[in-house]
Structure 1
């Protein structure tokens, strides 16, 4: 798979650890930055990752900031993105199995590199179950997305 990855300054160090790990699993990585620990704005890195995923130029995306919260909020504003903030292995598996997430958000200040790598491994290896319940629920999420993507709701 091709994995797009981005981080702000709060997630830079963890990104530097997980990129080679993702590559060691056999995946191609497109790193959109950032490339330093100097203060930057998380939406500037969430957007290019999510655009690559939404446009089909990357299979999945990974976003890292201090807590993962800002990245996940920004990511879920992009049509077609289903981003989950994950800090444990069970949630990594469940969010793929039940929610077919295509973007993973994590917080460097919340988890260490070992847990982050295991979360990523599980998240990349877990397929969407495709069960009728889950497909139906995702259909409802897409209806919400479509309703609020309509220009009449834009400000």
Structure 2
């Protein structure tokens, strides 16, 4: 599994803590982390609306299978991600949230708060959340006797999303192009996206935006 990690500008100073906690859990499982920014406070500044665009591009181009993102409260990046086609993002604060999101909703992105409640032993909470997501089979259902109903509801939600959202390339062409250009300006994102994207049309459009 390829996991895209995207951190908002206000929390860039905590990027190493988040990355190391994620790495400690997913490396032994054989998953790959694609750090799309911000890796440090000097990187191209990413606001939470930009996080949604980047998450949408990574998932819809199949450059990544899962997105781990967040901001101060986790709310903004969660809303931005869920505004994108094909993204089903859960707000995860503790390991129970992570477990239930993985078992019931089985989405492809999580948003976490990296300021609110981020105190002593926060890195341990991050690791425990990632374990509840990545060390177990997702989508099994909880409680198990409701697994079939939950799977049906996920299918219904997916169809609702398809009906209510444009495709990602149309989104990229429709949004403010200055915002898009700023969002995709970071070298970390460009390296991860262009090396892993399986959508030539989307890749070509982004190259046009950055003048590559």
Q: TM exceeds 0.5?
A: yes
Distance in 2, matches of 1:14 and 1:36, equals: 8
1:80-99 aligned at under 5 Å gives the runs 80-99=86-105
RMSD: 2.2
2:34 matches 1:30: yes
2:159 matches 1:143: yes
| 1:49 alignment partner in structure 2 | 55
- SS of the equivalent of 1:32 reads strand
Partner residue of 1:124 out of 134, 137, 146: 134
Distance in 1, matches of 2:55 and 2:163, equals: 24
**How far apart are 1:54 and its partner, in Å?**
2.6
Query: What count of residue pairs does the alignment treat as equivalent?
Result: 152
Distance in 2, matches of 1:128 and 1:13, equals: 33
Unpaired stretches in structure 2, ≥5 consecutive residues: 142-146, 168-173, 175-212
Instruction: Tell whether the 8 Å contact from 1:6 to 1:46 is kept in structure 2 after alignment.
Output: no
Partner residue of 1:100 out of 106, 121, 143: 106
**How far apart are 1:150 and its partner, in Å?**
5.7
Distance in 2, matches of 1:10 and 1:93, equals: 27
Instruction: Tell whether the 8 Å contact from 2:84 to 2:165 is kept in structure 1 after alignment.
Output: no
Instruction: Tell whether the 8 Å contact from 2:68 to 2:109 is kept in structure 1 after alignment.
Output: yes
**How far apart are 1:121 and its partner, in Å?**
2.0
2:65 matches 1:65: no
Deviates more, 1:115-124 or 1:66-75: 115-124
Please identify runs of 4+ aligned residues in structure 1 that moved more than 6 A.
Answer: none
- The alignment's TM-score, normalised by the length of structure 1, stands at 0.85
- The alignment's TM-score, normalised by the length of structure 2, stands at 0.64
Instruction: Tell whether the 8 Å contact from 1:15 to 1:64 is kept in structure 2 after alignment.
Output: no
Distance in 1, matches of 2:38 and 2:4, equals: 13
- SS of the equivalent of 1:19 reads helix
Which entry has the higher C-alpha Rg, 1 or 2?
2
